[in-house]
Amino acid sequence: QYVTAMHMRLLVSCERTLRDHGYDLIFARHEYSGSLRTSEVPLPRMLEQTGAVDGVLLAGVHHHNLLQALQKRHILYSLVANNFEGPTASLSHNCVFYDDRGAIEEATSYLIRLGHRRIAFVGNVSLPWFQRRYQGYLQAMQEHGLEPIAVSGNWQISNIDYGQLATSQLLRDSRYATAIVAGNDELAAGAWKELIKRKVAIPKEMSLIGMGDRAEFAILEPALTSISVFEDQLGERLTSMLLSRIRDHKHLPVSETYPCKLLERASCAPLAEVRTLQEVKRKLP
C-alpha cells in the first residue's frame, strides 16, 4: 500500500544486496485491512506455498495482523517500520527505522535559525508517522517558546490535495505563517501548488520544507528543501537483517534507528525584515 518512489529506491538497494548474496528479489504489492483477524489475513500466493520463499522484506504501510500471520506460518521477515500501524511492542526486533521525528525537529529548528517565528506544520496526525513528525515539530517550537500553527485534521484525500487545501487555510489564518514544514514531499508539493496559485513567492514570502527527498519533485524550482532518509543504506541494512535470520532462524536482530539528513535548498530563506502580513494578504482573492 502507498508504494512511492522512495520505497522503490529502497527495494532496488535490497535487490542489489540480495544478488550479492545469491538471492533473488520478487516484488509483490499486497493490500489488506488492518482490522482483519490474523487468521483472515490473505497472503500473496507465493507465501502460501511452503518453501517457495526464504523470507520477506516489508516496506510501505503494514499492520500487526500481517506480522502475526507471518510468524504463525514461520515465515521470516524484516520491516521498515516507519509506516507501521499497530502496537509498538511488535517492533522491538526485525525492524529498521529512519528518525523522521528527529529530522522534522531539526528542520523546524533550521527555520527558526533563519529567523522564522510563525512556522506551520501540515500533515494528517491521525496517521502515526505524521503524528510522530508533528511531535518533532512541537519539540522544536516549544524549546524556543513559539506558538504551534498546524493543519492536521483527518481529511480523507490525497497528500497533494491535503497540502494544497491546508496551505489555503493557512493563508487565511490571522497568525499568518512565514514557513511551512510539510510531513512529506507530496504534502509540500500540494503546498507549492497553492502558493503558486496565490502568487506567494517561494522563498521570499514563504519558506517550505518537505520530507523524503523524492526524485519526482526535483522538477520544482526553486529546489525544494527536503530530508533524505538514505534509502540505499536502509535497504542494505533491512536486507542484511533478514539474511542473518535466514542463516540462523533463532536469531532475533534488535531493531535499529538510522539518522536522516536535512538537505538545505533554495525553497527556504531568512525571514525578510520588510515582509508584512498586509503585503501578502493583498494577493489573496
Could you list the pLDDT tens digit for every one of the 285 residues in the chain? 556 788 889 999 999 999 999 999 999 889 999 999 999 999 998 898 878 899 999 999 999 999 999 999 999 999 999 999 999 998 999 999 999 999 999 999 999 999 999 999 999 999 999 999 999 999 999 999 999 999 999 999 999 999 999 999 999 998 889 999 999 999 999 999 999 999 999 999 999 999 999 988 999 999 999 999 999 999 999 999 999 999 999 999 999 999 999 999 999 999 874 355 545 554 555
User: Checking DSSP bridges between strand 261-263 and strand 226-228, what pairing results, if any?
Assistant: antiparallel
Q: What is the DSSP letter of 184?
A: S
Cα separation, 241 vs 251, whole angstroms:
10
Cα separation, 233 vs 248, whole angstroms:
23
Do 276 and 210 share a structural domain?
Answer: yes
Do 218 and 89 share a structural domain?
Answer: no
Cα separation, 32 vs 43, whole angstroms:
9
Do 269 and 140 share a structural domain?
Answer: yes
Q: Which three cell numbers stand for residue 99?
A: 528518525
Please give the distance of CA 227 from its chain centroid, rounded to a whole number: 9
Do 246 and 216 share a structural domain?
Answer: no
Burial class (CB in 10 A: 0-12, 13-18, 19+), 53: middle
Do 249 and 133 share a structural domain?
Answer: no
Do 156 and 271 share a structural domain?
Answer: yes
Closest listed residue to residue 100, CA positions, set 275, 223, 226:
226
CA terminus-to-terminus distance, the chain: 38
Beta pairing partners, 262:
227
Do 109 and 64 share a structural domain?
Answer: no
Do 104 and 193 share a structural domain?
Answer: yes
Total Cβ atoms within 10 A of residue 139: 16
Beta pairing partners, 150:
121
Q: Give the count of domains, the chain.
A: 2
Do 93 and 172 share a structural domain?
Answer: no
Total Cβ atoms within 10 A of residue 38: 14
Sign of CA dihedral 257, 262, 267, 268: positive
Write the pLDDT tens digit of every residue in 84-143: 999 999 899 999 999 999 999 999 999 999 999 999 999 999 999 999 999 999 999 999
- How far, CA to CA in Å, does 233 sit from each of 17, 101, 201? 10, 19, 36
Range of the domain at 51: 5-99+229-260
